[in-house]
Every structure is written in structure tokens, then in C-alpha cells.
Amino acid sequence: SLLELTTRYFATRSPATPNDFAWWSGLAVADAKKGIQMAGPRLEPTLIDGRTYWLDPSARSATAKSPLVHLLPNYDEYFIGFKDRSAIAQRLQSATLTTGGDALIAHVIVIDGQLVGGWKATPGKKATVVTLNVLTRLTRAEARAITSAVTAYSTFLDAPVELHW
């Protein structure tokens, strides 16, 4: 069961550290490391900013079109599944910029797996107002992809959305 839990975690949350896995699963760090060891060649180590992260190479998507944007709600599993969010905050150089260091995190904007800012939805009389707080420079393609993600959110709501940058 430890092997199964380990491979499922890293297949969906790579790259991650043993501490991330232990925090998410409730395991002791020693048991998390044992699970990684049991996974053997199914997981690969990778160095990010001098720290060893583990990833499932079979979970990589070569077909994903870049830029891939997600407007994630607070406490989304992608974001909250890490104790140390530095690997997904490399572009910002700190996850604290999106969380303010507070446990009550805002909704986050993710581009190609990296945090780039936050967003908020406020219901209005004629439309839901989506306000973006982008904390890094965007390419034109990224800005268009964010606009497309907001359009998809409008479709999900089945209601008009007004975008504020």
C-alpha cells in the first residue's frame, strides 16, 4: 500500500520532495522516503535550486500546448499538495507572493505549472467580476491564454464574466 500511495502521489504532483509527500499523506518523513525507495526507477530525482525533488517521468505530458493556464481555487489539490511550494513558484521566486504567508490563500493563477499570481471572483448584478493580480511579466500568448481561461470560467458559470486586469 505504501508503494501504491507513493506512485499515485508522484504521478499527480511531481516534482515533489519527501517532505511534501509526508505532509500531504500524513506519513512520517522516514516512511515517505521508504516509499520513494520502494518506487525505484519509477521515480527520478531532479535538482531544483539545490534541493532534490522526485518526479514520475511517465506523468510528463509532451502533448500539452503551451502556455497552459489554470485559474485554481484556493486549497486546490495542485497547490495545497505541497508543503514547500518553491518548485511551483520559481517564476515568482516565492510562493509567499501569492499567499502573503497566510494559511488563508487566495485563488491562484498557474501557467505551465508555475504560480504567476492570484485571482478573485466577485458576483455583480450583470456579471461576475474576475479581478487578476498577476505578479510577473506575461507574454502575449500567456495573456491570451489567461483570457481564454476566464472565458472557460464564464462557460462553467453559465453566466457573463467581466475581466479586470
For the stretch 60-100, pLDDT in tens is 655 567 799 999 998 888 877 777 777 888 888 776 655 55
Which residues have CB under 8 Å from 74's CB, separation 6+?
Answer: 104, 105, 106, 107, 108
In whole angstroms, what is the distance from residue 20 CA to residue 6 CA?
A: 11
Query: What count of other Cβ atoms lies within 10 Å of the Cβ of residue 76?
Result: 15
In whole angstroms, what is the distance from residue 113 CA to residue 67 CA?
A: 10
In whole angstroms, what is the distance from residue 139 CA to residue 158 CA?
A: 29
- Which pTM was predicted? 0.73
In the chain, count of helices (H) and strands (E)? 6, 7
For the stretch 6-65, pLDDT in tens is 999 999 888 899 999 999 999 999 999 999 999 999 999 999 888 899 999 887 655 567
Biggest CA pair distance of the chain: 56
Residue keyed to cell 520532495:
17
How wide is the angle at C-alpha 102 spanned by C-alphas 97 and 105, nearest 5°? 75
In whole angstroms, what is the distance from residue 63 CA to residue 22 CA?
A: 30
For the stretch 118-137, pLDDT in tens is 999 999 999 999 999 999 99
